[in-house]
Chain A
């Protein structure tokens, strides 16, 4: 069984974000980029399933500009067997990504798709769900535990939901999105990084896959959140109530 894993190149989580002067977006020039942490967890889970003998191949997929290949190489260094790079300039919103995924699934025919639950740059939390919807596959999102049963061709997923933990049983092929507590991703070792340079990467463009990536959404403006105002020390409860009522208008 083949597993497809989506990996996204995002601004590294430790970087201090700055908004561009023209407010069109966030500064990405000369800024450190890395693999989305949830995608690392997704890839780690796929690799563990393969190492348990339940899958034959792990294919890492990334979509984005030319530099996204670096993220793909990291994925290959962690242990993915092959890479697919859909080269697309311009913003890719989740629906476009999901449509491109659907096209790739029709070519690759994987038995399981694993994605991170959301990307840390847009926090959309949509792509996995949209992929499942477009394909008509069952989905197990916010996975904190994944147990595959090869004979029964189903997967048990523990989901982290608002009320606690929910366990769902999905028939394969299925879509899983990973949450933080699923696993600890492995480090890419030096020898693996060297090996990764020789692993094959297939390139596609959206045109080749017959997908229109133009979005219905347009980012109009990006601004920093308003600066935090200094706190005010109040001298009595009455003053506090007065401020809450008349200044903050919360009671």
Chain B
């Protein structure tokens, strides 16, 4: 392992001749990306395009030739291998203009530096170390830093981390607060009733997931993973056969009206390249075999409702493939407070049900005591709520005034605020996670265990299993579908299988939900013979406005409750204002023709960042104004818009929230 790490850093310094000409080749296609691809002659590119790994001299014929370049190397490739048909013309689903972009090639490209993505990256490098080979792994992250877009409760079950990095304690992972108490309350407007806690958090920890992910990022870099925060994967790149070969990052420096600003930068194509070998002898036969198998791998780890993952699921019909149901979601809104020393009990865990949500709305709150007088408090509201007048944000503000919660927060200050959707579909909604050219890991597929309210450990494990499958694919030509097999044989599936009926039970109402949950938990103990199905998709569940009346929410008091702009300021969110709005309306007329008259503009209420506002025009008519700059990247609008008219696409990399203790 040490040998590999130091080898990588040597190659970075660029002392080997191959690396400098590799960089020279990139320099040739410089910042002005309208110049055509490399003018280096074929032999140069043969010698240089490898990831400067002297272990694998054969790995020089690149995936770039598979993608429509016109230089000599592509001709040479097809001559050598007789592999004719792979000079790609991009299919319309994927980027047309990818030929204009610079491209960088890696063995594995991972989209998203979250728990799943980083676990996959680390596992890949560990396997490389074990088998004495090297694979180049690149992780792109749309947040400005690793961890900037990570927000979660979080009571952490270290099961997957114990497998991945067993020495995490010695290596000073930011996991120090053991769960010290576990309370479960049913709230009414004025009271809190203690219920037996259905959780078993004995060996778990209260952590900040953002901090843990930052630590994992530094670990991944130690292993030689290349992580690039501030770069958003905005397009999926495919070859002629419809296999995914990588992603393209966003163009930067595009003005609001679409024109190029003076600092315009074309996005970069990050492509997976196949082939890594451990011995020269194997080159001839394995080399040709591997080209035909197209062993490049792109892993999508974008978190819940990942924008590219959703496209992949639709394109390859991944839900139909295993008869999965639609995904169901919840919106979590969270704050981290710094409270009075006397009120702080590190490791104390409280969950609540009931008030402020009514019997028809599934959800609950959490309050976790972290270290250093910090407390994480949040409300999770299932997005299949019916009342279009509901505002999850305002419900959260109400919660903080509850007589059992208020004393904890009084005299404290809010440090950070944030919001994110999470998946609640469980096993019934997991799509088939493998597609030609890659796989989906983590919450993008949806492995959150709803009754446990934990998804981090399963996300990490899914990343590890995908890494193991990808390793097999790249080195031995095995099928990436083995990821699906190992997933179903792992503790992830076992857990999710036991947990599958709790959430759907609540679709029948609060009391039936509690009853069925009790039966599941105490009687069947996870071995129930039936599997409940989910109700309507979240966006269809919203009733029309006339069947409900507006909810009068109390004004914020500025001490415990706040208005949205104040809270938003605490999320450190920002986007360059002069860029096209990343929230796209499929039909620009629909908000004023459907959303507003039928549903009274619910997006102006469920968005925790006040992105959507109906403002009067000069004529007095209300028009939808999209304040894209406020966006917290929570994806609630993409999920809950009644006619699915709002499409969340990724803005310029580096924007969005700046979570550090969430």
Q: Which residues of A are interface residues toward B (Cβ below 8 A)?
A: 12, 14-16, 18, 30-32, 34, 183-187, 189-195, 197-198
Residues of B within 8 A of A197 (CB): 12-13
Residues of B within 8 A of A195 (CB): 23, 26-27
| B487 at interface, CB cutoff 8 A | no
| B574 at interface, CB cutoff 8 A | yes
Contact of B263 among A32, A186, A191, A198 (CB under 8 A): A186
Contact B262 A189 (CB under 8 A): no
Residues of A within 8 A of B23 (CB): 191, 194-195, 198
| B31 at interface, CB cutoff 8 A | yes
Contact B13 A15 (CB under 8 A): no
Contact B660 A30 (CB under 8 A): yes
Contact of B574 among A14, A184, A185 (CB under 8 A): A14
Interchain Cβ contacts under 8 Å between A and B, 7 examples: A12-B572, A12-B658, A186-B253, A187-B265, A189-B31, A191-B26, A191-B102
State in angstroms the CA–CA spacing of A117 and B253 once bound together. Answer: 24
Contact of A186 among B148, B249, B265, B658 (CB under 8 A): B265
Contact A191 B104 (CB under 8 A): yes
Contact of A187 among B104, B145, B253 (CB under 8 A): B253
| B144 at interface, CB cutoff 8 A | yes
Chain B 1-33: CB-based contact to A (< 8 A → 1; otherwise 0): 000000000001110000100010011000100
State in angstroms the CA–CA spacing of A192 and B263 once bound together. Answer: 15
Contact B658 A14 (CB under 8 A): yes
Which residue of the partner chain A has the closest CB to B575?
A: A14
Contact of B660 among A32, A187, A194, A198 (CB under 8 A): A32
Residues of A within 8 A of B536 (CB): none
Contact A185 B263 (CB under 8 A): yes
Shortest Cβ distance from residue B95 to the other chain A in the assembled complex, whole angstroms: 16
Segment 222-253 of B: residues with Cβ below 8 Å from A: 226, 228, 231, 249, 252-253
State in angstroms the CA–CA spacing of A16 and B418 once bound together. Answer: 13
Segment 315-330 of B: residues with Cβ below 8 Å from A: none
Contact A184 B660 (CB under 8 A): no
Residues of A within 8 A of B159 (CB): none
Contact A190 B415 (CB under 8 A): no
| B298 at interface, CB cutoff 8 A | no
Residues of A within 8 A of B145 (CB): 32
Which residue of the partner chain B has the closest CB to A13?
A: B574
Residues of B within 8 A of A185 (CB): 263
Contact A190 B268 (CB under 8 A): yes
| B261 at interface, CB cutoff 8 A | yes
Shortest Cβ distance from residue A51 to the other chain B in the assembled complex, whole angstroms: 9
How big is the B interface, by class? 35 or more
Task: List 4 A-B pairs, minimum CB-CB distance, nearest first.
Answer: A14-B574, A198-B14, A30-B660, A187-B252
| B219 at interface, CB cutoff 8 A | no
Contact A184 B262 (CB under 8 A): yes
Residues of B within 8 A of A190 (CB): 104, 228, 231, 249, 268, 270
Contact B268 A16 (CB under 8 A): no
Which residue of the partner chain A has the closest CB to B144?
A: A32
Contact A193 B228 (CB under 8 A): yes
Residues of A within 8 A of B262 (CB): 183-184
Which residue of the partner chain A has the closest CB to B26?
A: A191
Segment 399-430 of B: residues with Cβ below 8 Å from A: 413, 415
Contact A184 B415 (CB under 8 A): no
State in angstroms the CA–CA spacing of A186 and B252 once bound together. Answer: 9
Contact A187 B263 (CB under 8 A): yes
Shortest Cβ distance from residue B408 to the other chain A in the assembled complex, whole angstroms: 18
Chain B 265-285: CB-based contact to A (< 8 A → 1; otherwise 0): 100101000000000000000
Shortest Cβ distance from residue A198 to the other chain B in the assembled complex, whole angstroms: 4
Which residue of the partner chain B has the closest CB to A185?
A: B263
Residues of B within 8 A of A189 (CB): 31, 102, 265, 268
Which residue of the partner chain B has the closest CB to A30?
A: B660
Residues of A within 8 A of B572 (CB): 12, 14-16, 32
Given contacts A16-B570, A190-B231, contact A184 B148 (CB under 8 A): no
Residues of A within 8 A of B415 (CB): 18
Residues of A within 8 A of B660 (CB): 30-32
State in angstroms the CA–CA spacing of A16 and B657 once bound together. Answer: 11
Which residue of the partner chain B has the closest CB to A70?
A: B145
State in angstroms the CA–CA spacing of A78 and B253 once bound together. Answer: 14
Shortest Cβ distance from residue B578 to the other chain A in the assembled complex, whole angstroms: 10
| B661 at interface, CB cutoff 8 A | yes
Residues of A within 8 A of B661 (CB): 30
Contact B211 A184 (CB under 8 A): no
Residues of B within 8 A of A193 (CB): 228
Given contacts A32-B145, A195-B26, contact A184 B263 (CB under 8 A): yes
State in angstroms the CA–CA spacing of A15 and B661 once bound together. Answer: 13
State in angstroms the CA–CA spacing of A34 and B261 once bound together. Answer: 22
Residues of A within 8 A of B289 (CB): none
Residues of B within 8 A of A14 (CB): 572-574, 658
| B569 at interface, CB cutoff 8 A | yes
Contact B569 A16 (CB under 8 A): yes
Which residue of the partner chain A has the closest CB to B13?
A: A198
State in angstroms the CA–CA spacing of A85 and B176 once bound together. Answer: 34
Shortest Cβ distance from residue B256 to the other chain A in the assembled complex, whole angstroms: 14
Residues of B within 8 A of A194 (CB): 23, 104, 226
Residues of B within 8 A of A186 (CB): 31, 253, 263, 265
Extra 13 A-B pairs, beta carbons < 8 Å, given A15-B572, A18-B413, A198-B14: A12-B144, A32-B148, A32-B572, A32-B660, A34-B144, A185-B263, A190-B228, A190-B231, A193-B228, A194-B23, A194-B104, A197-B12, A198-B12
Which residue of the partner chain A has the closest CB to B140?
A: A190
Segment 614-662 of B: residues with Cβ below 8 Å from A: 658, 660-661
State in angstroms the CA–CA spacing of A16 and B13 once bound together. Answer: 37
Residues of A within 8 A of B573 (CB): 14
State in angstroms the CA–CA spacing of A193 and B249 once bound together. Answer: 14
Contact of A191 among B12, B14, B252, B268 (CB under 8 A): B268
Shortest Cβ distance from residue A3 to the other chain B in the assembled complex, whole angstroms: 19
State in angstroms the CA–CA spacing of A183 and B263 once bound together. Answer: 9
Given contacts A14-B572, A191-B104, A191-B268, contact A30 B211 (CB under 8 A): yes
Segment 571-622 of B: residues with Cβ below 8 Å from A: 572-574
Most chain B beta-carbon contacts within 10 A, residue among A15, A31, A32, A190: A190
Residues of B within 8 A of A184 (CB): 253, 261-263
State in angstroms the CA–CA spacing of A18 and B262 once bound together. Answer: 35
Shortest Cβ distance from residue B105 to the other chain A in the assembled complex, whole angstroms: 12
Residues of B within 8 A of A192 (CB): 31
Most chain B beta-carbon contacts within 10 A, residue among A14, A31, A186: A14
